Structure formats: C-alpha cells, structure tokens
C-alpha cells in the first residue's frame, strides 16, 4: 500500500492530464498564460494509464483527472475508459472549469466516469470576465447542466472567494446551487499561484464564508465521522436535503487524514500538494523500469511525505511548480 510514516494511506490519486488551460483565472496564472510543459515531457496515454494501473495495484481506489484543464486533453474519453477497465475498478472523477463539458459529458459518462467537480467563482458575467479573463460563463453553466443531464452526479461546484472581488457572492452562489441541485463547496485560496502573489490577509477565511452564509441560511454541521478523509467540512442547509461545504486548507488544515497523492502531466509523483520534491516516474519508466520498480518509487515517495503543508511554518516556501501544473 501507499502508506506514509504517519500511518496515512494514499488511496486517492489525482492525475493532471495537462498544464494548459483555456481560462486565465487571476488567482492562478497571469493573463498571458505560462510557459507550458514541453510536449515530449508529457506522459503519453499509454504511460499515464500504466502508472495509474501500478497505483491501483497499490491500493488506489479513487482517480481524479485534473489539469490545467483536463477537457483539453485529446485522449480524455479513452483514458477514462481504460482506467475504468482496471481491476479493481477505481471510482473516477474530473475536476474541470466546465468549458466544453456540455458536449463531452455523455461520452465521459458512457466511458464510465462517475462524477464531476466544476470550478465556478461567480454568477455575474462581467465579474467572470474580470476573474477568468475570458467571457465563458455561459459555457460553464451549460457544462454544469450537461453533466447533470448525463448523470455525472452529484455535480459538485468549487468556488474560490477573494476579498473585494466576489466575496459578496457566498449566499447568492449557495441559493443558486441549491436551486439547481448542485453541491457547492467553497475553497480557501491557497499559496499555489504562478505569480506567487498569495497574501493571507486578502484570503477569505472559512470563518468569514460561514458568517456570510449564516446570515441567510440555517447551517447544521455534518459529523466528523461522515466526513472521513474528505477535504470539505459540510453543513446541512435549512434542514436539508441541500448541503454546503468549505475546504479550509489554510485555516483548518486536514492533513492529518490526507489520503491524496498526485501525478503530474509530465510524470512526476507529488506526495503532497505543497511538496517541494517530486519523484520522476516518467524518467524511470522511459529508462525501462518494471511495474515493481515504479511501485517501489511510489512507496518511497509516500514514506517521505511530511505531516502537513506547513503554510503556517516560519520557513514555509511555496512550491515552484504552480497549481496549474499540479492539479486540484
């Protein structure tokens, strides 16, 4: 199994399929985009499926495809199909910005995808353009509806609030999500942006998000036992059935029950979102390593996993690799 020295077992593999994206969210990358990973460094579909298969053999039961924007990966549907054919079959999810999802959702569902998380930070078209630097709100909303129609449910929506930008939208977003039957979770902004401009003072905290929601909704906490290793703390809204979640990575870290490990699009294994070291699986694989040797590298990486992200540590250093090349 992929166990670390704190007894945490990694069963949830996040696979970044590309570092490219068709949005330019201000809390993630500059308007001009980034220098993308070189093509030859990217894992081929065969290499990617092989590494996932090795991880499934080591106890991974959940696979989440991320990016950049995973829907930009040409072979996405076939990758889902092939990973779905692994035994034991892992549960499969995609975290996407929703653009193009309306079109591909039926094929993803037919390929065996279980459900989706869609990122959406505002319902205001102008504000969307300011935040994402593209006029694509309509496409994101169509993507959400398309995912629900295709049965990729529960459809989860991830929203990041920024002070003075969209922090007045907590309650409107929740009202909308409840009306649509989507499961909304707010995520505290993390120091993972390419510009290294994250500032704790401007981050909207879980406390603040809850305070704005409680002004309009009656929230009842869902018990810890139900939470398990889910990063989101959950509340039942107005007696249910709707719920809302908050992923408070910074102010209420959940590293103690972390079950996640990440594979980047260029074949590097990261034992933590904030890892400062990576294990080069691509290099080993292309040098002829066997599945056993790749598995041993994965296990070694987990054994080196730190207790947590260390954001509050005086010596904290943001990873050099930006979020867009790590994946959610």
Residues engaged in binding ligand SF4 (CB under 6 A): 253-255, 258, 260, 272-274, 308-309
Q: By C-beta, is 129 or 306 nearer to ligand SF4?
A: 306
Q: By C-beta, is 33 or 307 nearer to ligand SF4?
A: 307
Measured between its terminal Cα atoms, the distance across the chain in Å is 23
Do residues 64 and 94 make contact, with C-beta atoms less than 8 angstroms apart? yes
Q: How far is the CB of 222 from ligand SF4 (least distance, A)?
A: 19
Across the beta sheet with 156-160, the strand order is 219-221, 233-237, 243-247, 183-187, 156-160, 115-119, 91-96, 62-66, 12-16, 260-263, 268-270, 279-280
Q: How far is the CB of 204 from ligand SF4 (least distance, A)?
A: 19
Q: How far is the CB of 4 from ligand SF4 (least distance, A)?
A: 9
Q: By C-beta, is 14 or 183 nearer to ligand SF4?
A: 14
Strand pairing of 233-237 and 219-221? antiparallel
Q: By C-beta, is 106 or 308 nearer to ligand SF4?
A: 308
Q: How far is the CB of 191 from ligand SF4 (least distance, A)?
A: 11
Q: Which residue do the tokens 């166990």 mark?
A: 3
Q: How far is the CB of 9 from ligand SF4 (least distance, A)?
A: 12
Q: By C-beta, is 77 or 306 nearer to ligand SF4?
A: 306
> 96-121 burial, b if ≥16 CB within 10 A, otherwise e?
bbbbbbbebbeebbebbbbbbbbbbb
């Amino acid at each position: 199994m992929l166990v670390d020295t704190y007894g945490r077992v990694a069963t949830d593999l996040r696979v970044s399929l590309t570092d490219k994206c068709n949005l330019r969210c201000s809390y993630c990358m500059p308007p001009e985009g980034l220098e993308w990973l070189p093509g030859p460094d990217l894992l081929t579909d065969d290499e990617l499926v092989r590494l996932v298969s090795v991880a499934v053999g080591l106890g991974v039961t959940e696979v989440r495809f991320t990016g950049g924007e995973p829907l930009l990966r040409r072979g996405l549907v076939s990758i889902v199909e092939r990973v779905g054919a692994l035994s034991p079959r892992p549960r499969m999810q995609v975290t996407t910005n929703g653009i193009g999802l309306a079109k591909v959702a039926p094929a993803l569902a037919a390929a065996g995808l279980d459900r989706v998380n869609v990122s959406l930070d505002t319902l205001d078209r102008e504000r969307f353009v300011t935040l994402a630097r593209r006029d694509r709100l309509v496409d994101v909303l169509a993507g959400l509806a398309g995912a629900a129609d295709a049965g990729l449910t529960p459809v989860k929506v991830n929203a990041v609030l920024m002070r003075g930008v969209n922090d007045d939208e907590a309650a409107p977003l929740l009202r909308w999500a409840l009306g649509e039957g989507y499961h909304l979770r707010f995520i505290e902004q993390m120091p993972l942006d390419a510009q290294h401009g994250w500032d704790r003072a401007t981050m909207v905290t879980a406390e603040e998000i809850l305070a704005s929601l409680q002004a309009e909704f009656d929230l009842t906490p869902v018990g810890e036992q139900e939470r398990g290793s889910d990063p989101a703390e959950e509340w039942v809204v107005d007696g249910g059935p709707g719920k809302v979640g908050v992923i408070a990575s910074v102010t209420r870290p959940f590293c103690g029950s972390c079950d996640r490990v990440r594979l980047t699009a260029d074949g590097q294994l990261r034992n933590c979102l904030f890892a400062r070291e990576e294990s080069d699986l691509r290099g080993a694989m292309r040098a002829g390593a066997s599945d056993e040797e790749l598995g041993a590298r994965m296990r070694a990486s987990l054994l080196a996993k730190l207790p947590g992200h260390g954001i509050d540590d005086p010596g904290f250093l943001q990873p050099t690799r930006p979020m867009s090349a790590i994946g959610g």
